[in-house]
Chains A and B, each alone.
Chain A
Amino acid sequence: MNQLETISADNVIVVRDLTKKFGNFTAVDHISFEVGKGEIFGFLGANGAGKTTAMRMLCGLSKQTSGQAWVAGFDIAKEAESIKKCIGYMSQKFALYEDLEVWENIRLYAGIYGVPDKEIAPKTDELLHRLGFEKERNALVKSLPLGWKQKLAFSVAIFHQPKIVFLDEPTGGVDPSTRRQFWELIYQAADQGITVFVTTHYMDEAEYCNRVTIMVDGRIDALDTPKNLKENFDAKNMDEVFHHLARNAKRND
């Protein structure tokens, strides 16, 4: 497949036989898939199945051993720097600087992602208003409840209007109400055309994705809509689908 074909399709991520080996260990084993513009793409798998390694390659942070992938039309092997400019990233563990104030975090990330100076101030006002955080503008991030931090972290990750946002377990440990509000933010982002690539251990959240992949031992063992996966595996819910696939895993984790 050449680059022209990948761009002509409306796919913002195209992955072909992507493989990553660490010594004798094949962390990611010939995975292939495409993700469309504005799609919410769930990336599931057991611990150690290779999700983080795959995600790091797609973000341009790690070089593949073989295979190819294009993110936002850029080749991950040759154009990693271009990729970093048009993606956003948020993880559960680290997302914001705790010792900076809310507005300082926004300012910092906006600057890193190259948002023009004159746009930053009005966009910051607009964001704080939309989140209802106006009063917290000058609050240190560490003083915010976890749920607020996660909402702010997500908003900061898409502040520069990336084509794709990668979310690594964004809702871990968050209370049930905030978890649902967080997914409403994800829907809004997808409605604006931002592609959402998300990992989660909450199987109810897998139901909210347009399509879901399940990685087992470095391979993609299933890729479909939640509805089709449930039908194909004759399962009541995604939790059953996940157990059905992941219990075949050979890797000892």
Chain B
Amino acid sequence: MSTVTASHIRKKYPRAQALDDVSLDVQEGDIFGLIGPDGAGKTTLFRILTTLILPDEGSATVNGLDVVKDYMKIRAQVGYMPGRFSLYQDLTVEENLNFFASVFNTTVEENYELVRDIYQQIEPFKTRRAGALSGGMKQKLALCCALIHKPTVLFLDEPTTGVDPVSRKEFWSMLKRLKKQGISILVSTPYMDEASLCDRIALIQDGKFLKTDTPKNIVKDFGSELWSVKSDNMSKLLKDLRANKDVETCFAFGDAHHVTHKHEFLKEEELTAYLKQMQHTHIQISQIQANVEDCFMRLSGKYIL
């Protein structure tokens, strides 16, 4: 069953077409990832789905309710964690949580079970003002406040932006635990490596979805042979690979360059010979599976030299 649907949504701001014909479908209990850079339209879509702004065109539902007509009902059923920290900085941890519970006509005690795992990590600081918490603790408190009325759908707008890799991993394991409780989660992120942690993802750029599918299918459909190439001089290697007429694209990916080539008949041995001729040493070429970032760059049309 679909918990969230969006159909041909458009939204224009004075300076930009924020969303341009966007459709999606989140199944019950899924983690659905919106993957894309800042300014792609992720937040606008979140605001429409959480009934905070109206779309110019198109329709959307949450739990079968229309985001325009049934907005009051939807608000009682969803949890929303905006990208910008939006709790009360002058209230303590405990006061914030109580406040959000009372706004939704419930109590912390009633739904404590749902937030227990997360809340216990910040409980030692429950008398501290929210404004004085570290980034990681703020994020945990915000998640607790979004969950305290036991929503069935959770909207998380860039919960891990600016967060270090270890804390990001912890955050994702919290999401997995929430998923097990049957909560559907729509989460946005600019970090492509988080895509593989979602059940389904939409790659978004300039207000358009480039593709929507499971992370596995997206990387399977990369559509070209991809090589990982290394040598002792990576900076020169980038230039030399790009100068080769048979190389289509070449980009740095951490400790290796990812290369696609124009002619399917370009052989590894030929490329090795070329690189040897360019005085490279310790040349390593291997065929690899594309990752979501490779796919994003190719689909966004920016996968060019």
For A147, the chain B residues whose CB sits under 8 A away are 37
Interface flags for B226-241 (1: CB within 8 Å of A; 0: not) read: 0000000001000000
A101 within 8 A of B: no
Kindly list chain B residues whose C-beta atoms are within 8 Å of the C-beta of A47: 134-136, 162-164, 167
A46 and B252 in contact, given A173-B37, A176-B192, A176-B297 (Cβ under 8 angstroms)? no
Q: Which of B37, B135, B163 contacts A174 (CB 8 A)?
A: B37
Shortest CB distance A252–B (Å): 7
Whether B137 is near chain A, meaning CB under 8 Å from some CB there, is: yes
Q: Does A45 contact B254, Cβ atoms closer than 8 Å?
A: no
- We find that the number of chain A residues with CB closer than 8 angstroms to chain B is 41
A242 touches B192 (CB 8 A): no
Interface members, chain A 32-74 (any B CB < 8 Å): 45-49
User: Is A175 an interface residue, CB under 8 A from the partner?
Assistant: yes
- Tell me the number of A-to-B contacts counted with CB atoms below 8 Å: 102
* Chain B residues with CB below 8 A from A246, complex form: 164-166
Contact digits for A125-148, partner B, Cβ 8 Å, 1 yes 0 no:
000000000000000000101110
Bound Cα distance from A183 to B254, whole angstroms:
11
B303 beta carbon closer than 8 Å to chain A: yes
- The reply to whether the CB of A169 lies closer than 8 angstroms to some CB of chain B is yes
Chain A residues within an 8 Å CB radius of B303: 177
Q: Which residues of A lie under 8 Å from residue B297 when comparing CB positions? A: 176-177
Interface residues of B in 130-183 (CB under 8 A from A): 134-137, 158, 161-169
Confirm or deny: A75 has a beta carbon within 8 angstroms of a beta carbon on chain B. no
Known: A47-B134, A180-B251, A208-B252. A146 touches B166 (CB 8 A): no
| Closest Cβ–Cβ distance, residue A144 to chain B (whole Å) | 10
Tell me which residues across on chain B come within 8 A of A145, comparing CB atoms: 39
Minimum CB distance partner of B251 in chain A = A180
Q: Does A172 contact B (CB under 8 A)?
A: yes
Q: Contact check, B254 vs A176: say whether CB atoms are below 8 A apart.
A: no
B165 & A243 in contact (Cβ 8 Å cutoff): yes
- Residues 68-87 of chain B: 1 if any A CB is under 8 Å from the residue's CB, otherwise 0? 00000000000000000000
Which of A177, A202, A207 has most B Cβ within 10 Å?
Answer: A177
B-chain residues with CB within 8 Å of residue A204 when the two chains form the complex: 252-254
Which residue of the partner chain B has the closest CB to A246?
B166
A109 in the interface, Cβ–Cβ < 8 Å?
Answer: no
Contacting pair B302 A253 (CB below 8 A): no
**B167 pairs with A46, CB closer than 8 A:** yes
**Inter-subunit contact A176/B296 (CB<8 Å):** yes
Contact, CB under 8 Å: B255 / A146: no
Closest to A179 in B: B37
Set of chain A residues within 8 Å of B296, measured between Cβ atoms: 175-176
A111–B3 CA distance with the chains assembled, in angstroms: 55
- Closest chain-B Cβ to A52's Cβ sits at a distance in Å of 11
Q: Which A134-188 residues have C-beta < 8 A from chain B?
A: 143, 145-147, 169, 172-178, 180, 183, 187
Say if the beta carbon of A247 comes within 8 Å of chain B. yes
Known: A176-B293, A177-B297. A45 touches B302 (CB 8 A): no
Q: How many residues of B contact A (CB 8 A)?
A: 38
Q: What 1/0 flags go to A212-253 for Cβ under 8 Å of B?
A: 000000000000001000100000011100110011010011
B96 lies within 8 A of chain A by Cβ? no
Residues of chain B contacted by A226 (CB below 8 angstroms): 255
Task: Give the shortest distance, in Å, between B135 (CB) and chain A (any CB).
Answer: 5
User: For the complex, what is the distance from the CA of A42 to the CA of B121, rounded to whole Å?
Assistant: 30
> Bound state CA distance, A127 and B121, in angstroms?
49
Q: Is A201 an interface residue (CB 8 A)?
A: yes
Known: A201-B165, A242-B165. A172 touches B190 (CB 8 A): yes
Q: Which B269-303 residues have a C-beta within 8 angstroms of A? A: 293, 296-297, 300, 302-303
List CB contacts (< 8 Å) of B204-260 with chain A.
205, 235, 251-255
List chain A residues, Cβ under 8 A from B164.
45-47, 49, 201, 242, 246
From known contacts A146-B39, A172-B161, A201-B162, infer whether A183 and B134 are also in contact, taking CB-CB under 8 Å. Answer: no
Report Cα–Cα, A82/B166, bound state, in Å: 37
Docked complex: B12-53 residues within 8 A CB-CB of A: 15, 36-40
Chain A residues within an 8 Å CB radius of B253: 204
Is the beta-carbon distance between A175 and B255 smaller than 8 angstroms?
no
Determine how close the nearest CB of chain A comes to the CB of B273; give it in whole angstroms: 25
Q: Which residues of A contact B161 (CB under 8 A)?
A: 172-173
B254: shortest Cβ distance to chain A, in Å? 4
Given the contacts A177-B300, A204-B253, A207-B254, A243 and B167 also touching, CB distance less than 8 Å? no
Chain B residues with Cβ below 8 Å from A243 are: 165-166, 169
A9 within 8 A of B: no
Contact of A187 with B255 in the complex, beta carbons under 8 Å? no
**Contact A175-B165, Cβ < 8 Å, known A147-B37, A226-B255:** no
10 inter-chain pairs at a CB distance below 8 angstroms, sorted by A residue, are A173-B158, A175-B37, A175-B296, A176-B192, A176-B302, A237-B254, A243-B165, A243-B166, A246-B165, A252-B137
Q: Which of A's residues lie within 8 Å of B, judged by CB?
A: 45-49, 92, 143, 145-147, 169, 172-178, 180, 183, 187, 201-208, 226, 230, 237-239, 242-243, 246-247, 249, 252-253
Given A177-B300, A249-B166, 5 additional A-B pairs, CB 8 A = A46-B166, A173-B161, A204-B254, A207-B255, A237-B255
